[in-house]
Structure 1
Amino acid sequence: MRKHLYNQPIPVLETIPEHPRALRLDLPEPPNGDPADQAFLYRIEGRVVGFFNRCGHVRLPMDLDDGKFFDLEGMIICRVHGARFDEKEGHCIMGPSPVGLYRLLLQGEQHSEPVPGKEDDTDSSATRRSATDELESAKGGDSDISVAVAPESKASRGGSLLILGWEGPVAPEQH
């Protein structure tokens, strides 16, 4: 499994929707090197999960660029060839994809309940943003890399979510 950590964590400032909706983001240095690749995040069972929007079978956006990532049963679906992926872990459940998804490495806010007394610094009208401008360089590789915490700001105080990097592809589920 490959792993890539950003030099600086990338804060997520938007409201993250509940499954079966998702927030799409542009992130720097995606797994296959295509800057057009996006990631998507959502809340499920009290935690936030996220993946890159790229199927392991055919390197196309799984949502066909319309933001629809889930089938009627709630699994992540590649709408190009019908592969299904576990909505919590990203491993391939069925279909032509030989591998799972690339998972985002997240730190911070994991619960959907608001924290009493904390002001809401998110912009709920935002549906997509670019983090590329927030990051000037990144470091990759499989070695242990220290990740510095982002500078103190309204967005980085308690309750915020940071994207540390990505790893994958997720291995198949062991039965």
Structure 2
Amino acid sequence: MDIVSSAKRNPSRWSVVVFVTLCFWLSASTVLDFVIIPSLMQAGMMSEPGFISAGYSMFGLFNHIELLCAGIILSGFLILKRNHLLPQEQEQWVMIFATFLLVIALTCNYFLTPQLSAFGIDLNWFETNTIMSVEMVQFHLSYWLLELMKFIIGGLLLVWSFQAWQPERTD
């Protein structure tokens, strides 16, 4: 609670919190999307019968971490805005983009992950269909579109949070 109570004394601390949280979130998303998932695909794990439940658990956990990160980022930018540490012309855009990051995390957590897991469950054990359905392909495309928007918006907010973080000068 020290960070919350000292927001008036040292508000630049929140820009550091936002910056570090954005760095963690974007780097974790990069590792998940471009290292872990392709490795699992290459190893053939996606065709294993238990992969759907394992994937749901993995993405479910990561989605909850994303929600936590989005909440911290939005809270941090609200404090920075309240203390007028953001340029006037950026304040509105920062709030819109930080809220949009939260919406992306909510969408992935409560809509995309359950739907993709539901499409992956094989209810007919006698049929050996290895082709993805059209609906599943559309959900994968929407997931990658949201990921792309998350990286673009997150990168922009990362730059703005770094600009808001200026060590106090003793001139």
TM-score interval (norm. to shorter): under 0.3
Question: Quick check: which one's strand share is greater?
Answer: 1
TM-score (norm 2): 0.23
Q: Report which of the two has the higher share of helix.
A: 2
